[in-house]
Chains A and B, each alone.
Chain A
Amino acid sequence: DAGVIQSPRHEVTEMGQEVTLRCKPISGHNSLFWYRQTMMRGLELLIYFNNNVPIDDSGMPEDRFSAKMPNASFSTLKIQPSEPRDSAVYFCASAFGRGQGKGEQFFGPGTRLTVL
């Protein structure tokens, strides 16, 4: 398995533009997570899905952020409009429940977003 796949790996955009980050989880996993990492705030959870349904979006900063999971093999995180303070590395992770695994999350390589 190729692991969790994220695209793009790097994104540079200007303030006000729409940004879409993409994630393909590991096949068979039923939970998907979006995290954001900055020097100031560390790693923080934005939203997570179980069986394609959002379970907890309390970490989503504001209405400018939205996430979807239209099927088990694809998720998007959209920022519209983007702001310089959104600059961060965004990680996607996927997992089984403990009944099928060790309760470990598998992280993708991340998307480094820079908003100018």
Chain B
Amino acid sequence: DAKTTQPTSMDCAEGRAANLPCNHSTISGNEYVYWYRQIHSQGPQYIIHGLKNNETNEMASLIITEDRKSSTLILPHATLRDTAVYYCIVRVVRWNRDDKIIFGKGTRLHILP
């Protein structure tokens, strides 16, 4: 799996959009970008994923650059409950089974009241 680079930590004011960047310059054509987060003392939680198009779901939006070398996770209206470590992961996803996730250090996001 390709490596990713994320800032160690970020702050965001409550109610504002949180934009978390991720660099994955060595991504291969068949690798997806996945985002997970881990709230303190809980297991990681899936947020969103994409291949090359921008994606949006009820939790967040994912913007992938045209060259796919970087992406941004956007939490549109951050709340205190969004305080967590956010992991950007690049991986191949098989059709018939899932494969391991290699977690990096992630970005520790602090939502400030």
Contacts and interface: CB of A to CB of B under 8 A. Distances in A.
Interface of A: 4, 30-31, 33, 35, 42-45, 48, 50-51, 55-56, 91, 93, 95-99, 102-110
B100 A103 contact: no
Contact of B34 (A48, A50, A56, A103): A103
Most buried by A among B42, B99, B104: B99
B113 interface: no
B100 A97 contact: no
Interface of B: 32, 34, 38, 42-46, 49, 87, 93-105
B42 A109 contact: yes
B103 A105 contact: no
A107 B44 contact: yes
Nearest to B103: A43
Nearest to B38: A43
A43 B44 contact: yes
Given A48-B100, A107-B44, A109-B43, A102 B105 contact: no
Contact of A31 (B46, B49, B98, B103): B98
B43 A99 contact: no
A99 B96 contact: yes
B85 to A, nearest CB: 9
Contacts of A50: 97-98
A93 B97 contact: no
A42 B34 CA distance: 18
Contacts of A91: 43-44
Contact of B46 (A43, A96, A105): A105
B98 A105 contact: yes
B71 to A, nearest CB: 16
